[in-house]
Amino acid sequence: MHEATVAQSLMEVILHEAQERHARPVRAKMSCGELNKINDEILSFAFEAVAKDTLCEGMTLQIEHKPLQAICKTCGNVFAVDISNTQCLGCGGGDFELLPDAPLVLDEIEFERADDGQG
C-alpha cells in the first residue's frame, strides 16, 4: 500500500520538524503530480492511523494534485495536458513534449507554539 508508506514518511518528517521547533503541528500541505497518483482518502486514513498517540494526532493534511504539463514544440508554450484535448493552448498545435511529472513533496507545515497558541 503506497499511501501507508507515504503517510509514515510524512509523519516522521513532521515530527522531526516539530521537535526542532518545540511546537505542535496543526496542518501540513503536500503536493504530487498526475502520474504519481495518491488516493486522498486512503492517504488521510493512513496518516490518521500512524499519527495516533503522537504530536501529529488530529492535524489536518491537505493534498494538492498538480497537472501533467507539456511544452509545445511549435511556440514554446508550457501548458497543462488535458487528456480530452491534447493541443497547445497557445497555438493549437499538437506537437509537444511531456515535461517531468511533479514529485511528491511536503510543501509546508503549520505549527502552533506552546507559548502563545499561534502558528
Residue whose cell numbers read 499561534? 118
Say what the pTM is.
0.80
DSSP state of 117: S
Residue whose cell numbers read 486522498? 40
Q: 16 is in which domain, residue-wise? A: 2-113
β-strands 96-98, 69-72 pairing: antiparallel
Residue-wise pLDDT for 28-86, tens only, equals 999 999 888 799 999 999 999 999 999 999 999 999 999 999 999 999 999 999 888 88
Strands (E), the chain: 23-33, 60-66, 69-72, 78-80, 96-98, 105-113
Determine, yes or no, domain membership for 119: no
The pLDDT of residue 95: 95
Say how many domains are in the chain: 1
Determine, yes or no, domain membership for 48: yes
- DSSP element (H, E) containing 8: helix 2-21
